[in-house]
Structure 1
Amino acid sequence: MNHNSIKFIVDVGVGKSIENYLRDKGYDAKAVREIDPAMSDDNIIRLAATEKRMVVTMDKDFGELVYHSCMDHYGVLLLRLEDATVPEKLEVIKFLLGNYSSKIANCFCVFQKNKFRIKQINKPGYGVKP
């Protein structure tokens, strides 16, 4: 899989700099702030699943939607970077995409405290089928 074939939807809290970085690097990236900044999390994940986009977010509620509500998804990249500066967020995204872009589609991924976890969700009823 060419890394640029991953499509993203970037949640409002992640920041415009991440949206711009993804686009500058050739990724197909939509920004929730440009669609509807007040869009609910469940509508974000529905749109992402329909368009086969991975959600990039800093909102832990997406874990609830994927694991407990069993919503279809095409992957979530949860960045636990609440106190990070813009340059720090950019470095994390560069590192993750540079090292893991071929492994994250249709997975629930969490970056927290310099650790990265990728969990494939392949139970019946979980995730969007390729």
Structure 2
Amino acid sequence: MIFLADEGVDKSLVELLRAASYDVFYVAESASSISDEEVLALANSDGRILITRDKDFGELVYRLKRIHSGIILVRMEELPSISRSTYVDHFIRENLDKLAGHFVVLQPGLTRIRKL
């Protein structure tokens, strides 16, 4: 499984995923300040699952019907960075079969997974 972490994603999550041998392209390291459309295109070009904290991707996918390889929207602003990262890392490891082609919203106590 390969991922693209949007620049708003915690670096600690990127480090956890890389330590688990996942291929993670981190926008903040290589392509900061690109538009959401460019982020989505970059993820799609390699078939990467996009991890983001930016709810604008919901609009791109649902209203504007943009194609995606899979999106994980992390809505856990109230958690400290390391807690949020650990939660997302655990979710990914436990749900690898539910990520490709799905739009996942992670919130404390609530997970929504929609196939598109």
Same fold judged by TM-score > 0.5? yes
Between the two proteins, what is the percent identity of the paired residues?
Answer: 34
Please say if 1:48 is aligned against 2:43.
yes
- Asked if structure 1 preserves the Cα contact closer than 8 Å seen for 2:4 and 2:24, the reply is yes
Which position in structure 1 is the counterpart of 2:72?
A: 77
**2:81 maps to 1:67:** no
Q: How does 1:1-130 map to 2 (within 5 A)?
A: 6-121=1-116
TM-score scaled to structure 2, two decimals? 0.94
In 1: Cα distance, 2:110 partner to 2:78 partner: 16
* Contact residue 17 and residue 89 of structure 2 kept, 8 A: no
Cα deviation per residue 1:7-38 (whole Å; 9 max; x = unaligned)? 10001111111111111101010000112210
Q: Which of the pair has more CA radius of gyration?
A: 1
- What are the superposed Cα offsets for residues 37-61 of structure 1, whole Å, 9 maximum, x if unpaired? 1011110001101110011001000
1:126 is aligned to none
TM-score (norm 1): 0.84
Runs of 4+ in 1 over 4 A off after TM superposition: none
Which letter does structure 1 place at the counterpart of 2:34? M
Instruction: Report the AA paired with residue 45 of structure 1.
Output: L
Larger CA deviation: 40-49 vs 82-91: 82-91
8 Å contact from structure 2 (residues 13, 86) kept in 1:
no
